[in-house]
Amino acid sequence: MRKVKTAVFPVGGLGTRFLPATKSMPKEMLPIANKPIIQYAYEEARDAGIEKFVFVTGRNKNAINNHFDHAYELESKLDEKNKSQELGQVMGWLPDAGQIAFVRQQKPLGLGHAIWCARNFIAKDEAFVVILADEMMMQSPNRKRNFLGEMIDLYQNKEDISSIVAVDEIDMKDTNKYGIIKVEGAEKIIDMVEKPKTEVAPSNLAITGRYILQPEIFEYLEKFEIGSGGEIQLTDAMKSMCKTHPFYCKKIDEVRFDCGNVLGYLEANIAFALANGAIESDVKKILKKYSN
């Protein structure tokens, strides 16, 4: 069985679409309901069978490190007061010692550069997962294995050693906001373009924040080619690599939220609140109150 045991979470971006909230606080610590975005991403990876979690952080991101650590004063106070439910929320989900690592991306040179910064933490002969935490997925309650887990299953069942990219069908008018793939047949990727204009976009299939990559990607990333937005882009490295290494796509069949922008973030908050039976009817009342 081909192993996929490591996930990389690039969280070194500046989050400029969320200023001023992200001036001193990481975008990934913004809450959806009462849980920060990065915790959803971690739990998604853990539930898919990931055992090693590598966060690529930058300046002003220490709140993420602290969130994945014990908070002794808080824990002992809650323990004294027998607040077991709250205690579970603080520490019940924490990874075991040694399961997490934090790598510093000293300069935010782009997503591709952030992933390259994790290279020494990835086994040479093992595919790894990349999760963009701000691309959130809402797992439908009757689903046994989450989407990322199904991506891993797809990878393990392929005959060739490949990379897998999650894609979502988008409006053609929005192609300039995403990396777009060109496919042959149902799932083989033969080209990728970062943020193409609608007229030249090869499809409406957008790359959306979940990847299984072969470690050879680092050879392409370390060319440090500057791409769209003046940044070192992951899509550019994958585009070069897909000429000689098999890449497949898997279409997302869950609800997805782009929490990197304010509207997508608000939508995710509303959707998660409505999915919470304890507050659903009150949330509906609030929405009605402000809809008139």
**Chain contacts with ligand UTP (rule: CB under 6 A):** 10-18, 27, 56, 105, 108-111, 113-114, 132-134, 260
- State in angstroms the smallest separation of the CB of 176 from ligand UTP: 13
Question: Smaller CB distance to ligand UTP: residue 17 or 182?
Answer: 17
Question: Smaller CB distance to ligand UTP: residue 14 or 138?
Answer: 14
Cα–Cα separations (whole angstroms), residue 125 to 3, 82, 112, 128: 9, 47, 20, 10
Question: Smaller CB distance to ligand UTP: residue 57 or 273?
Answer: 57
- State in angstroms the smallest separation of the CB of 42 from ligand UTP: 13
- State in angstroms the smallest separation of the CB of 105 from ligand UTP: 5
Angle, helix 147-157 to helix 37-47, in steps of 10 degrees = 40
Q: Which residues of 183-192 are buried (b: 16+ CB within 10 A; e: fewer)?
A: beeebebebb
Question: Smaller CB distance to ligand UTP: residue 82 or 106?
Answer: 106
- State in angstroms the smallest separation of the CB of 221 from ligand UTP: 12
Nearest by Cα to 135 from 221, 280, 11, 235: 11
Q: How buried is 119 (Cβ within 10 angstroms: 0-12 exposed, 13-18 middle, 19+ buried)?
A: middle
d(CA 38, CA 133): 6
- State in angstroms the smallest separation of the CB of 258 from ligand UTP: 9
Residue type, 38: I
Question: Smaller CB distance to ligand UTP: residue 70 or 107?
Answer: 107
Q: CB of 46 within 8 A of CB of 92?
A: no
Per DSSP bridges, beta strands 6-10 and 128-131 are parallel
Question: Smaller CB distance to ligand UTP: residue 112 or 149?
Answer: 112
Question: Smaller CB distance to ligand UTP: residue 263 or 287?
Answer: 263
- State in angstroms the smallest separation of the CB of 85 from ligand UTP: 31
Residue nearest to ligand UTP (CB): 13
- State in angstroms the smallest separation of the CB of 22 from ligand UTP: 8
DSSP state of 96: P
Q: Which residues of 73-83 are buried (b: 16+ CB within 10 A; e: fewer)?
A: eeeeebeeeee
